Amino acid sequence: MSGGGARRVLEAWRLGVVKYGEALKLQERLVADRRAGRVPDLVLSLQHPPTYTFGKRRTDHNLLVPESSLGRLGAELHRTERCGDVTFRGPRQAVLYPILSLRDIGLGARRYVEGLEAAMVEVASLYGVEARPGGRCTGVWVGDRKIGAIGVRISSGFTSHGLAFNIDPDLGYFKHIVPCGIANKDVTSLRQEAKVELPPDEVIHHQLVQSLAKTFRFSDVKVKDDSECTEMVYSAAAQR
């Protein structure tokens, strides 16, 4: 989705399960580092414990249970500065948080979001699932069922937050919210829709990263696992 030029490598940080608040602090630090040129374009690939998040519109009415009851559900609540409405993040979702310079990859905000959607559509197709972008309703859909959500933040041309692709999460968590503020729409998963047996989740995470890199015309992907990123993750989590 951008022109040719010098060879560009996307770093992919495979972090496993990360608490939402820790991932938020890590993104904030990495955006500052990317802006200063201390890190290259990269993407965080991870999962979260059960977490509900609000975007900057603060549409609390789309949380359908009292905030005080979330602990009994085993879930946390976080308010963020990303775009979008209330959503759920949890186990068996593939979550990608790209930390990119849109200027360097030659994209505006709309084309960037379309690229995130295209990556999820491509991965769904690998398993016989015909998904599509939502148009006015952002994210990726199978019929009228949402399989992938998008909520991004772009600050001075640098990205954070990103996408969540439902591999096989507990869909019961979505019953407690109006997902992304869109009423009367169901949420689905790759497990429910796929025509073939699914591989381990790590394989699907990798496929999403590779599709994202291809969509944004990166030449290659350099993978770092959590042992290589531990110092940065813990340092960011310690920030107050």
Q: How many CB atoms lie within 10 A of CB 160?
A: 24
Burial (0-12, 13-18, 19+ Cβ within 10 Å), 15: buried
Q: How many CB atoms lie within 10 A of CB 84?
A: 22
**8 Å CB contact between 99 and 158:** yes
List 83, 137, 180, 229, catalytic entry:
180
The sign of the CA dihedral 191, 175, 170, 48 is positive
Active site residue 180: yes
| Catalytic machinery residues | 180
